[in-house]
């Protein structure tokens, strides 16, 4: 696997090798010992999640969970493409409030490691996009938090096909970065 640190070194772009032949390809997309050795990721994964978005321009996020259910995420795209972003919400971190992002697609086969303590969100770049991700802590409704996707402080350069965002009702009413500062993990 190829591991690339992004502008926030804790956020990593991981691309597994594909072994192809006339039938198609085979790939090992998750091998715990390789992630530990090559990327320094040693947290256990306890749950797998999958989402489907029918329309391009669907935004999911910015979400995280607070202690004791802080989640790290290993995100990949099964079909379609996304612009995937991680925002450092770890109080005291030298990169607090900064973001790292990458385009993930079924074609480029890349995965994004979003460490615990980061907000996570993505925008679908194609119709009928399926996203799969492993998490290091189970979902807990009481620990769930979020920041509005278009917060002016963060200035995220969302790549919106057609310029229109499609959001859930919940994601439309999330607080801004500064209003959410009381729950940022230490």
Compute the CA torsion angle 120, 123, 125, 130 (nearest 10 deg): 60
Calpha distance 14→31 (Å, rounded): 12
**Residues annotated as part of the active site:** 63, 133
pLDDT given at position 161: 83
> 186 pLDDT band (50/70/90 cuts)?
very low
* pLDDT at residue 182, rounded to an integer: 75
Higher pLDDT, 184 or 131: 131
Beta carbons within 10 angstroms of residue 136's beta carbon:
19
Per-residue pLDDT at 185 exceeds 60? no
Q: How far is CA 170 from CA 33, 66, 130, 180, in A?
A: 37, 18, 20, 15
Instruction: Of 155, 136, 19, give the one whose Cα is nearest residue 67.
Output: 136
Query: How much of the chain exceeds pLDDT 70, in percent?
Result: 98
* Tens digit of each residue's pLDDT (9 = 90 or more) over 125-172: 999 999 999 999 999 999 999 999 999 999 999 988 878 899 999 999
């Amino acid at each position: 696997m190829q591991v690339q640190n992004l502008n926030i070194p804790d956020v990593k772009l991981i691309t597994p090798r594909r072994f192809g032949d006339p039938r198609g390809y085979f790939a090992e997309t998750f091998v715990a010992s390789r992630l530990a050795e090559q990327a320094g990721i040693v947290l256990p994964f306890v749950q797998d999640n999958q989402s489907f978005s029918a329309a391009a321009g669907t935004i999911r996020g910015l979400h995280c969970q607070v202690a004791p259910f802080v989640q790290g995420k290993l995100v990949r795209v099964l079909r379609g493409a996304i612009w995937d972003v991680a925002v450092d919400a770890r109080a005291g971190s030298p990169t607090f409030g900064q973001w790292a992002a990458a385009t993930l697609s079924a074609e480029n086969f890349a995965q994004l490691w979003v460490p615990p303590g980061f907000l996570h969100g993505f925008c679908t770049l194609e119709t009928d996009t399926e996203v799969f991700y492993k998490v290091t802590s189970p979902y807990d409704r009481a620990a769930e938090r979020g920041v509005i996707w278009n917060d002016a402080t963060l200035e995220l350069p969302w790549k919106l096909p057609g310029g229109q965002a499609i959001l859930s009702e919940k994601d439309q009413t999330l607080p801004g970065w500064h209003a959410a500062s009381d729950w940022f993990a230490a």
